Amino acid sequence: MRGLGRFDGAPLDRLRGATRRALVRLVDLALDEQVAFVLIAGDLYDRDWQDFHTGLFVREQMVRLQRAGIRVFIVLGNHDARGVISREVPWPDNVKVFSSRSAETLRIDSDDLQVALHGHSFPNREVPEDLVPGYPAAVPGFFNIGLLHTSLVGAEGHDTYAPTTLATLKTKGYDYWALGHVHARQVVNEDHPRVVFPGNLQGRHARETGPKGCELVEVQGGQLSARFVPLDVVRWHRVMVDLSGASTVDEVPGRVVRALQAAVAADADLASDALHALRVSLQGETVLQAHEARQPGALAALVQAAAQDVMGAELWIEKVQLQLRSPLDRQRLAEGGDALAELVRGVDTLAADGQALAALCQATLADVLDKLPAELTAALAVEEAQGAAPDDVPRLLDAASLQALLRDAEATLLARLGAAEARP
């Protein structure tokens, strides 16, 4: 949820408090269902605490569970490993954090519950080795659960930590594996053992779309049943609006409203007081591209206005992306002898020469980049080198991104030079 301050009108308090509210909803669910215990498979914290309020808030939720006799079992992941979190508050007695020195087994052995839980916390942020071979053997006669923070065989957008395979997990003879690290829910194996990444409780940005929550598991007579329970209080969407053939701005609001209504209607599982955060992409071939070039921001304003007309849900438009194509016949323009033809031919020549295009972009953007705060440019450089730059920030070393910038510049110049005669 970082960087929200640059969005004018963003509901900052609701967005920044969303992850905490989702945790409260998890505890509410555990209390309502009277569960035996809660499993947390790592990255309870995203980074070291800025102050003790974070730890005290989490502890308060664990105390709520303690008062109901509900235990909590935690393995630490790469973001909250032993060597990452420098501050500490004592856990209540119902919380057990697995050792970071070696894998261990904890047993629950009562008249109505025989469960063996196996886990190994991360000792530090980077764990390149497979931890599973060190996990204890399954305890006979018990329901065996493994907690593991892992990238498994690799997941897009996630660093490779404690890599392992489904085949390796199966060798332990456990009944269930609760996995952490991957933010998108994924059922790795339906049958015995059930292996699940439940995902995070709350999507944190526009790349974490769709329902977020936990897996609620019930075991009766050795038979396991499980269901996903959404807990997010802010639901992120990516909405595509097709403006193909639109000739006037009057056609835009209706198309946008219909697309937004469809997105909201698909979220019947979401709490009525939740916030829908939407990234809207306007696509298609339309003369409105020229209109936008002459009046930058006009289409985004139409999207914002349309969102205000959607009834029955609270919407926030996080961003409007323009992926429009001009209906102009570029080939015909290029065959002419005027300045427009020279522009089109020049763009084609430049687009075909990757090195020249990169050099031009670097030179053109140099003055802009020099004016950015040093900490921002340093952060972007690191993220780009790691392939993790935000998807709305141009990657200056990526050929496709550079060509997209070039085509966008061409469209703007053509519109302002009067190449598009149609007026919306």
Three-state SS string over the chain comes to CCCHHHCCCCCHHHHHCHHHHHHHHHHHHHHHHCCCEEEECCCCCCCCCCCCHHHHHHHHHHHHHHHCCCEEEECCCCCCCCCCCCCCCCCCCCEEECCCCCCEEEEEECCCCEEEEEECCCCCCCCCCCCHHHCCCCCCCCEEEEEEECCCCCCCCCCCCCCCCHHHHHCCCCCEEEEECCCCCEEEECCCCEEEECCCCCCCCCCCCCCCEEEEEEEECCEEEEEEEECCCEEEEEEEEECCCCCCHHHHHHHHHHHHHHHHHCCCCCCCCCEEEEEEEEEEECCHHHHHHHCCCHHHHHHHHHHHCCCCCEEEEEEEEEEEECCCCHHHHHCCCCHHHHHHHHHHHHHHCHHHHHHHHHHHHHHHHHHCCHHHHHHHHHHHHCCCCCCCCCCCCCHHHHHHHHHHHHHHHHHHCCCCCCCC
pLDDT of 312 reads 85
Q: Are 74 and 153 part of one and the same domain?
A: yes
Q: Are 280 and 415 part of one and the same domain?
A: no
Q: Are 241 and 199 part of one and the same domain?
A: no
Q: Are 106 and 244 part of one and the same domain?
A: no
424 residues of the chain, pLDDT tens digit each: 555 656 667 888 889 899 999 999 999 999 999 999 999 999 999 888 888 999 999 999 999 999 999 999 999 999 988 878 888 899 999 999 999 999 999 999 998 899 999 999 999 988 999 999 999 999 999 999 999 999 998 656 567 899 999 999 999 999 999 999 999 999 999 999 999 999 999 998 889 999 999 999 999 988 899 999 999 999 999 999 999 999 999 999 999 999 999 999 988 888 888 999 999 999 999 999 888 988 889 999 999 999 999 988 899 999 999 998 888 777 777 778 787 788 888 888 878 887 777 777 776 666 666 776 665 666 555 545 444 445 555 455 566 777 777 777 777 777 777 665 434 4
pLDDT of 398 reads 64
pLDDT of 423 reads 41
Tell me which amino acid residue 77 is: G
Distance (Å, whole) CA 233 – CA 13: 12
Of 284, 308, 327, the position where a domain reaches its end is 327
pLDDT of 5 reads 59
Q: Are 261 and 315 part of one and the same domain?
A: yes
pLDDT of 271 reads 81
Name 278's bridge partners: 237, 317
pLDDT of 374 reads 66
Q: Are 126 and 254 part of one and the same domain?
A: no
Q: Are 166 and 255 part of one and the same domain?
A: no
pLDDT of 342 reads 82
What's the domain range around 103?
Answer: 4-230
Distance (Å, whole) CA 394 – CA 290: 22
**CATH (domain of 61):** 3.60.21.10
Q: Are 351 and 281 part of one and the same domain?
A: no
Of 172, 205, 230, the position where a domain reaches its end is 230
**Residue 114 exposure: Cα atoms within 13 Å on the Cβ side:** 9
Q: Are 183 and 223 part of one and the same domain?
A: yes
Distance (Å, whole) CA 64 – CA 189: 32
Structure tokens at 205: 């940005």
pLDDT of 378 reads 60
Q: Are 224 and 253 part of one and the same domain?
A: no
Of 310, 327, 344, the position where a domain reaches its end is 327
Q: Are 181 and 314 part of one and the same domain?
A: no
pLDDT of 222 reads 80
pLDDT of 375 reads 58
User: How many domains is the chain built from?
Assistant: 3
Q: Is residue 420 within 8 Å of residue 287, measured between CB atoms?
A: yes
Q: Are 273 and 406 part of one and the same domain?
A: no
Distance (Å, whole) CA 99 – CA 104: 7
